[in-house]
Amino acid sequence: MINLLIAGYHGYGNCGDEATLLAMTTNIREMAEDVNITAISSNPEKTKIEYNIESVQRFNAFELLNAIIKSDIILSGGGTLIQNGTSTRSLMYYLSIIKAAKFFGKRVMLYANGIGPVTGWFNRFLVKLVVNSVDLITLREKFSQQDLRSIGVTKPHIYVTADAAFTVRSVGKNEAQNILKKEGIPIEKDIIGVSVRNWNKAKDGEKYIKEIAKACDNMAREGKTILLIPMQQPKDGEISKRLINAMNEKAYIIKDQYSPAETVGIIGECSLMLSMRLHALLFAAIKRVPMLGIVYDPKVEYYLDVLKMPSAGDIRCDSLDEKRITARMKGLFFDLEKYRDILDEQVNILVEKARENDILLSQQLDIIRENKKRRKK
């Protein structure tokens, strides 16, 4: 058997990160029956139950080191892990896992990662030193490749693929509608899904929430149902409630926490998606739901461009405007079929790119199998 360890930001209830773990575990099982999967998690018991895999506590150094030693290959799995935008401590954590894995002679793959920002000469030096030692790199965005090259990562071949979440499967329509009914959401009219997050680096502070609220009011007056879909509880739930409180018209919110497959199904029942959260946009794409993105991070800008979907504005450097948001939502509704056709074409390409992650991983697994055979002789 091959022991595979997934190191990512799992167990925190972030639907996007959980979607990548679901995609990875599902795809690995389908392509290889001789692989035991373990994931690092802040909530190992929950991760074990939800994904039927082994899991170790991310903050237990003994458990983590033991899992690395027992593994044949470590996947730096999904999401933007190699960065110090959130904290330098986070960057050091993931680099330490890679460094320990290579110290014990393990194969390491960066699997559909995002990269950056990595600031500070010492941080960039460490990334160059550590990431140059891995065996394979696949990245979910092209600009992440440019970031790694600018840092000086040159040794492993870099493949630009796509986010693993593009291979997540949705629950059926009936199950999704039953969830909405249970949540008290009317499904007779067009639903606009809205996904927001707190972002304290926005140019105008929380003014963007007020502008989104006004635009949602405008669309509610047009007869649309406004549905807030938190992608991470409780953080997104709190700001979603603040947005609803800023509205004059009635709006709804998904209260319970659902699996990635269920969340994809819920978003699939929407006619349009307005979102800051990347994976809410990707889930909409999977279900061919036209979208309007709010850019707060390069990854959102990148996938809007790849999917050929419009932006409502960039809160990093600009102010959102309710009139522009409203006009673009109305424009999407006017041409829904055109945008669905665009998504159909683009998503098919991205699903194939996402599957390249597993094709390349399978080659690493073959190398491990051959090495095990040689050692037995």
**Structural contact between residues 143 and 121, judged by C-beta atoms closer than 8 angstroms:** no
Mean pLDDT computed over 203-226: 96
* CATH 3.40.50.11930 at 2-160, yes or no: yes
| Pure H helices in the chain | 15-31, 44-51, 61-70, 88-103, 121-131, 142-151, 173-182, 207-221, 235-246, 260-268, 278-286, 298-307, 322-334, 336-376
Phi, psi of 41 (to 5 degrees): -150, 150
Q: Which of 254, 248, 202 is nearest to 233 (CA)?
A: 254
Q: From residue 182, how far is each of 131, 220, 266 by CA, in Å?
A: 47, 22, 12
The pLDDT tens digits for 54-97 are 999 999 999 999 999 999 999 998 788 999 988 899 999 999 99
| pLDDT for res 78 | 76
- Res. 131 pLDDT band, cuts 50 70 90: very high
pTM: predicted TM-score of the whole model, two decimal places: 0.95
Instruction: Pinpoint the residues of the chain covered by CATH 3.40.50.2000.
Output: 173-349
Residues 6+ apart with CB under 8 A from 251: 194, 216, 220, 226, 227, 228, 243, 244
Q: Percent of the chain, pLDDT > 70?
A: 100
The pLDDT tens digits for 132-149 are 999 999 999 999 999 999
Classify domain 173-349 at the CATH superfamily level. Glycogen Phosphorylase B; (3.40.50.2000)
Does the pLDDT of residue 376 top 90, yes or no? no
| pLDDT for res 192 | 98
| pLDDT for res 306 | 97
| pLDDT for res 178 | 98
The pLDDT tens digits for 316-338 are 999 999 999 999 999 999 999 99
Instruction: Pinpoint the residues of the chain covered by CATH 3.40.50.11930.
Output: 2-160
